[in-house]
Amino acid sequence: MAASLLPEKPLVISPSLAATLGLEEAVLLAVLHELFLHRAQNGWLKAEESLLSHFLPFWQPQDVQRVAASLCDKGVLHLRSAPYLSSGVLDFHLGDEEPAPVKILPQSKPKTVATTGRAALIAPNWQPDAEVQRQLMQLGVAQDFILQQVPEFVRYWHERGEAHHAWNSRFQKQVQRLWRDHELHAAKLRQNTAMVDGWQPGSDVLEILLRAGVEQDFIHDSVPEFVLYWRERGELSTTWDSKFLQHVRRQWAIFTAKLVNDPTPRPISHDWQPSADVYDILQMAAIDADFARQQVSEFVLYWLDSKQVHSSWNSKFLHHVKYRWARRHEQNWQGENDGFIATHTDRSWADGL
């Protein structure tokens, strides 16, 4: 069982690097370094979203862009691609200096803002020069956004009373950082959606789970409880498929570890009770334990009458409770007071196990 929990090569993170750059930065840097060693050409590597998502399945595109920007600010990563959220690509070089020659734009390299030989306090009426504004707009920053940052920038540094050589350069870096944050926030607002009735996981999620050996009935039974849980929480997300994938994987791991089927089929006994492991799994699915206990007598009665034999009554009961819990919370379901057998004929939750 332990081997199945580590199906992939683990990421090796340097503790000292994580302490210096930050844990997320160290994770991304480790992945990019591994890719760079084997795939880089002429000092650069273009890593597309499909490749990065394979090595970083626990992150969304906005996370990759945010952490990559942080590495750029720290000087250990150089990018010549458009923002990751819009391009889906990290065209990068690792190191303190960019390899030469590098031409990002057809025109000549932007001029470096001249600095004075002596540090000075910021002037109360300070304004960024035209060259800085041009460079920022070339990076896609709106001019109105640039000008909106000036008063706060001047106020902050005036209150600190610090002298610096290059106020234009300092302003440019701050606006770039603020613009990245602004873009990320806007993208998140555009992409976030609420959980709705009728939600279904994407076909790629089903394929991943089926290839991992998860039973199709188990996947389908997990959908209603997942929808109900997140609908009641009222949260917005861009990653419902990813959340569902993690939800099913976690439950399936416990299900297969704890509810091992007895190979010998047996009829159900009059005093049968589900094991404690069943309630643990139901608790993970946010299904009320008292509700589950209320289903036991009806469950036993039905299977006593059916005279059928099965190898795992715990598994049968788990599927039954999940199904009943979902039906109980369906808004348009009119048969909440239907009998157990009537419900059973509507969907054969007892089959296939």
Domain boundary assignment for the chain: 3-94, 130-191, 203-346
Instruction: Say whether 214 sits in a helix, a strand or coil.
Output: coil
- What is the per-residue pLDDT for 336? 41
- Cβ-contact 90, 110 below 8 angstroms: no
CATH of 3-94 given 1.20.140, 1.10.10, 1.20.120, 1.25.40: 1.10.10
Is the peptide bond prior to 265 cis by the omega test (within 30 degrees of 0)? no
Q: Please measure the distance between the N-terminal and C-terminal CA atoms of the chain and give it in whole angstroms.
A: 21
Distance CA 52, CA 64 (A): 9
The mean pLDDT value for 104-129 works out to 64
pLDDT at residue 341 tops 60: no
Average pLDDT over every residue of 230-240: 84
pLDDT tens, residue by residue, 24-38: 888 998 888 888 877
- Check pLDDT > 50 for residue 100: no
What span, in angstroms and rounded, lies between the C-alpha atoms of 49 and 47? 7
Q: What is the pLDDT of residues 155-196, one digit of tens each?
A: 888 888 888 878 998 999 989 988 888 877 776 666 678 888
Q: How confident is the model at residue 261 (pLDDT cuts 50, 70, 90)?
A: low
User: Distance (Å, rounded) from C-alpha 23 to C-alpha 52?
Assistant: 17
| Region 304-324 average pLDDT | 85
Cβ distance 241 to 222 under 8 Å?
Answer: no
pTM as predicted:
0.39
Inform me whether the pLDDT recorded for 257 exceeds 70. Answer: yes
* Residue 346: per-residue pLDDT: 40
